[in-house]
Amino acid sequence: MTVTALAAVSGVALLPAYAVSAPAPTGAAAAQEHLQELQKIAEANGGNRASGTPGYQASLDYVKSKLDAAGFATTVQEFDSMGGKTFNLIAETKGGDANNVVMVGAHLDSVSDGPGINDNGTGSAAILQAALDHAAGGAQPKNKLRFAFWGAEEEGLVGSTHYVSELPQAERDKIALYLNFDMVGSPNAGYFTYDGDDSDGEGAGPGPEGSAQIEKVLNDAFGGAGVQTEGTDFDGRSDYGPFIEVGIPAGGTFTGAEGTKTPEQAQKWGGEAGQAYDSCYHSSCDTVDNVNQEAFDRNLKVINQAVASFAEQTPVS
């Protein structure tokens, strides 16, 4: 019997030799796939990915499998929130100086009213892809890189608070800095970085020492792409809160939530003055269509640059 006839009998399709599978996408294209996947997960699980629900579990499984396959050491940390069990996912490089850890975090949970793709599929997808791209580059980081995907942020920063409170002081001392990414693709985007030096002299004041240098690295990365930034206060509304409370320097980027874009901001950034940065904030329309691709791509690049830079050198060690 010929090979073809054998295949016909056994029902096995013979693929031509050139039909190898396409290489996995990297960078922006891969991050876009993560957003699509999180959207599908929400749709398959009652429309959301809220902490403690099957949609959250599926989100965590998806992220964890990618990081495991790329060689990260992953840990799932269980905690209670709103009367139920939920989880943080922590993934760190096996190499790098364990006494000088660079942490990068994003909350992986959505509110229960929608799929949470801008808030915070974007931050989750961005740091996931930054981790995968860094690993694919093959270089061992000088410092240990630790990526955190927080549960129950939307229930009051519960996951990040639990993580920091469980961490012995000796382990806190090894964390050189914490970078936070929560909403990095808002449809009517602003380009904010956490105000480490309190340049406006208002609001929450400066972050712990080293935060100003982090802000500068992020601002310079945006500047290199021709994007002007504004500071946003450390007002405690996202997962950097528990870190700055114990004196760990922090920073990060943010494209805006329910706040309104000013005419000056619309002039320098485009978009619509008098409208919310994200008019679908915490609602059912926070889908893949609620992501500003340009803002998301610019943030991805800045995040990759910041990770590459802090992997080698931190302001405070």
Q: Does 182 bind ligand DPN (CB under 6 A)?
A: yes
Return the range that interacts with Zn ion (CB under 5 A); candidates 19-27, 85-93, 119-127, 297-305: 119-127
Return the residue of 51, 88, 229, 238 that touches ligand DPN, per CB under 6 A. Answer: 238
Residue number with CB closer to ligand DPN (88 or 93): 88
Residue 182 interaction partner, one of ligand DPN, Zn ion, none, beta carbon < 5-8 Å per kind? ligand DPN
* Footprint on residues 257-316 left by Zn ion (CB under 5 A): none
Q: Is 43 a catalytic residue?
A: no
If we measure between CA atoms, which residue out of 143, 147, 122, 20 comes closest to residue 71? 147
Q: Counting Cβ atoms within 10 Å, is residue 192 exposed (0-12), middle (13-18) or buried (19+)?
A: buried
Residue number with CB closer to ligand DPN (133 or 239): 239
Structure tokens at 50: 């809220």
Residue number with CB closer to Zn ion (171 or 258): 258
Is the CA virtual torsion 23, 27, 31, 34 positive or negative?
Answer: positive
Q: Annotated catalytic residue: which of 37, 78, 92, 153?
A: 153
- Determine phi and psi for 132, rounding to 5 degrees: -65, -40
- Determine phi and psi for 254, rounding to 5 degrees: -160, 135
Contact in structure between 299 and 255 (CB atoms under 8 Å) = yes
Return the residue of 63, 117, 145, 183 that touches ligand DPN, per CB under 6 A. Answer: 183
Q: In what order do the strands lie in the sheet with 175-181?
A: 73-81, 84-92, 143-150, 97-107, 175-181, 250-254, 192-194, 230-232
Q: Does 50 bind ligand DPN (CB under 6 A)?
A: no
Structure tokens at 53: 């629900």
What residue type is assigned to position 245 of the chain? E
Return the residue of 37, 92, 119, 155 that touches Zn ion, per CB under 5 A. Answer: 119
Return the range that interacts with Zn ion (CB under 5 A); candidates 12-20, 73-81, 84-92, 117-125: 117-125
The CA distance from 27 to 120, in Å, is 18
Q: Does 296 bind ligand DPN (CB under 6 A)?
A: no
Return the residue of 149, 150, 222, 254 that touches ligand DPN, per CB under 6 A. Answer: 254
Least distance in angstroms from the C-beta of 64 to ligand DPN: 21
In which element (H, E) is residue 39 found?
helix 27-44
Residue number with CB closer to Zn ion (33 or 113): 113
Residue number with CB closer to ligand DPN (112 or 120): 120
The CA distance from 127 to 261, in Å, is 26
Q: Rounding to the nearest 10 degrees, give the CA dihedral for residues 210, 304, 73, 104.
A: 40
Least distance in angstroms from the C-beta of 18 to ligand DPN: 47
* Footprint on residues 62-121 left by ligand DPN (CB under 6 A): 119-120
Q: Does 239 bind Zn ion (CB under 5 A)?
A: no
In which element (H, E) is residue 89 found?
strand 84-92
What residue type is assigned to position 127 of the chain? I
Contact in structure between 93 and 72 (CB atoms under 8 Å) = yes
Residue number with CB closer to ligand DPN (148 or 257): 257
Least distance in angstroms from the C-beta of 282 to Zn ion: 6
Instruction: Please report how the helices 211-224 and 293-312 are oriented relative to each other, as an axis angle in degrees rounded to 10.
Output: 130
Q: Does 154 bind ligand DPN (CB under 6 A)?
A: yes
Least distance in angstroms from the C-beta of 23 to Zn ion: 34
Chain residues binding Zn ion by CB under 5 A are 119
Catalytic residues: 153
Note the residues at the interface with ligand DPN (CB under 6 A): 119-120, 153-154, 182-183, 237-238, 254, 257
